[in-house]
Amino acid sequence: MKVAIVGGGIGGMSLALSLHAAGITDVDVYESAAGIRELGVGINVLPHGVRELTELGLADELAAVGIPTAELALYTNRGQRIWSEPLGMAAGYRWPQVSIHRGQLLGVLHRAVVARLGPHRIHPGHHLVGFGHVERGGVWGEYVNATRDGSLGRIEADVLVGCDGIHSMVRRTLYPEEGPSQWSGVIMWRGVTVGEPYLSGRTMITVGSIKQRVVVYPVSKPYEDQGRALINWVALRRIADAGPTPTQDWTSLARREEALEAFSSFDFEFLDVPALIRGAEEVYQYPRVDRDPLPSWDFGRVTLLGDAAHPMHPVGGNGASQAIIDARVLARELALQPSIESAIAAYDARRRPETAAVVQANRQAGLSRLIELVEDRAPTGFTSLNDVVSQQELDEVAGNYKRVAGFAVGTLNSRSSLSAH
């Protein structure tokens, strides 16, 4: 079986490794960019995602570069703590939660693909411009050089998987009438800053309100070993009503002064947000967008994976983890089902409803819903949290999100492996 993977990001590389582990080795990754570059900011890989990477033999590589996040703490915009809980193995999971620079994670995956499948299996500078089924049962893809004019010709395979992100060409071809992504009305400023460790040194913080908040966590084991912290931060602010993403020119580099002005009051005893913004080498700006869940990912010999299939708000650290799980499930079905068509149908039947539920849960702010509860009931602060919200109510909101997102402790620890062997 020959598999063509469109996109060399986290989802695409995870799929290549998953297929190899399942015994499918005729796999090629086609990436639009001229090379696989370790770019981006911090992300979280939740225990259900780390489990899959561990079963792919990457636990030591993750531990060498990422932080096993040990605690989540939520604060109001007045700096009052309303929720804290252990994370990862401290919470009883058999696998850690890993906070890591996206580029470092991609580097771990890329090096593993090169080592296991060979460097000749990764094709940078290949931009897909068209695809379709061939009469004898395969698929074809037409590629051009993304950095230079010129066709790279037509390449045939048995399966084509669109792992090409939120602006997926594969998805746009399958659903030409879908239209633009959906904007939540929230703008995000993001960056990474070298600083001093805060709180436990392995704490993820969300502080603010549902309309304006900051999420902060350390992402680098080498910096921790030096007694320092490489701190990922994302500052979110609602500036408009939700709707289709505007056609304005969203540039990735932001004006640092805009973020500083918006978050000038976020200077707390446990965290100085303006100092983080000032200390970042670059400040990036993005609209927070997603897309409505699709009615099907099942197109015969073609399917979707990761952000191409289910782009979601970056809430709860679930984007990368869901892409990794997609990869594991698809590889398993392709290895075990009697036909490619039945494998893609089984993958669609399992993963599409699960990820649709996460997309909807993330639109409700995930665990940040706890901040909204307290903000609605005590907008000027509180003397005793128990006067505002019960522990039972807090536990129910947190537990429900974990169940929907697929990483409730008992469920994950007892679930059977997604390995094909």
- Among all chains, which residue has been given the structure tokens 């903000």? 375
DSSP string, 115-140: HHH-GGGEEETEEEEEEEE-TTS-EE
Quote the CA–CA distance of 5 and 162 in Å, as a whole number: 6
More confident residue, 85 or 401: 85
Of 229, 319, 278, give the one whose Cα is nearest residue 40. Answer: 319
Q: How confident is the model at residue 371 (pLDDT cuts 50, 70, 90)?
A: confident
Q: Which of 148-157, 218-227, 249-258 has the highest mean pLDDT?
A: 218-227
In this predicted structure, the answer to whether residue 249 has a pLDDT above a threshold of 70 is no
The pLDDT of residue 408 is 81
Cβ-proximal residues to 367 (8 Å cutoff; 6+ apart), any chain: 72, 74, 83, 206, 315, 316, 397, 398, 401
User: d(Cα 12, Cα 36) in Å, to the nearest integer?
Assistant: 12
For the cut 70, the answer to whether the pLDDT of residue 250 exceeds it is no
Q: What is the pLDDT of residues 298-316, one digit of tens each?
A: 999 999 999 999 999 887 6
Write down the pLDDT at residue 267. 95
pLDDT recorded at residue 16? 98
Gap between the Cα atoms of 125 and 8, Å rounded? 11
Q: Is it the case that residue 98 has pLDDT exceeding 90?
A: yes
DSSP H or E segment with residue 20 = helix 10-21
Instruction: Give yes or no for residue 99 having a pLDDT over 70.
Output: yes
Helix axes 10-21 and 102-117, enclosed angle (nearest 10): 30
**H/E segment holding residue 195:** strand 182-195
**pLDDT range class, residue 248, cuts 50, 70, 90:** low
Question: Quick one: pLDDT at residue 360?
Answer: 87
Binned at pLDDT 50, 70 and 90, residue 342 comes out as very high
Which pLDDT score is estimated for 407?
74
Whether the pLDDT of residue 375 is over 90: the answer is no
> What CA–CA distance (Å, rounded) separates 350 from 326?
9
Q: Where does the pLDDT of residue 333 fall: very low under 50, low under 70, confident under 90, or very high at 90 and above?
A: very high
Could you tell me the CA-to-CA distances from 314 to 19, 89, 222, 231, 416 in Å, in that order? 27, 23, 25, 17, 27
Give me the mean pLDDT over the 93-115 stretch.
96
In this prediction, residue 296 carries a pLDDT of 98
Average pLDDT value for residue range 55-62: 97
* 229 vs 368 pLDDT, higher one: 229
**Portion of the chain with pLDDT greater than 70, in percent:** 96
Q: How confident is the model at residue 273 (pLDDT cuts 50, 70, 90)?
A: very high
- In this prediction, residues 30-38 reach a mean pLDDT of 82
Which pLDDT score is estimated for 404?
73
Give the residue from 285, 279, 323 showing the smallest Cα distance to 165. 323
Whole-number average pLDDT of the chain: 92
Specify the pLDDT at position 210. Answer: 83
pLDDT tens for residues 169-207?
Answer: 999 999 999 988 899 999 999 999 999 999 999 999 999
Spatial neighbors of 211 by CB under 8 A, at least 6 apart, are: 237, 238
With a CB cutoff of 8 Å and minimum separation 6, the contacts of 87 are 69, 70, 71, 72, 97, 204
Most confident range, picked from 36-40, 51-55, 237-241? 51-55
Express each pLDDT in 150-169 by its tens digit: 888 899 999 999 999 989 99
pLDDT of residue 247: 62
Of the two residues 420 and 149, the one the predictor is more confident about is: 420
d(CA 175, CA 169): 10
Categorize the per-residue pLDDT at 251 as very low, low, confident or very high, splitting at 50, 70 and 90. Answer: low
* Cα(133)–Cα(135) distance, integer angstroms: 7
pLDDT (0 to 100) of residue 34: 77
The pLDDT of 323-330, averaged and rounded, is 98
- pLDDT: is 132 or 318 the higher one? 132
d(CA 49, CA 62): 12
Q: Which two tokens stand for residue 326?
A: 């997609």
Cβ neighbours of residue 139 closer than 8 Å, sequence gap 6 or more:
4, 131, 132, 133, 156, 157, 158, 159, 160, 301, 302
Q: Residue 286 — very low, low, confident or very high, per pLDDT cuts 50/70/90?
A: confident
Q: What angle do CA 281, 96, 231 make, to 5 degrees?
A: 15
* Helix, strand, coil % over all residues of the chain, rounded to 5: 40, 30, 35
pLDDT exceeds 90 at position 58: yes
Check pLDDT > 80 for residue 239: yes
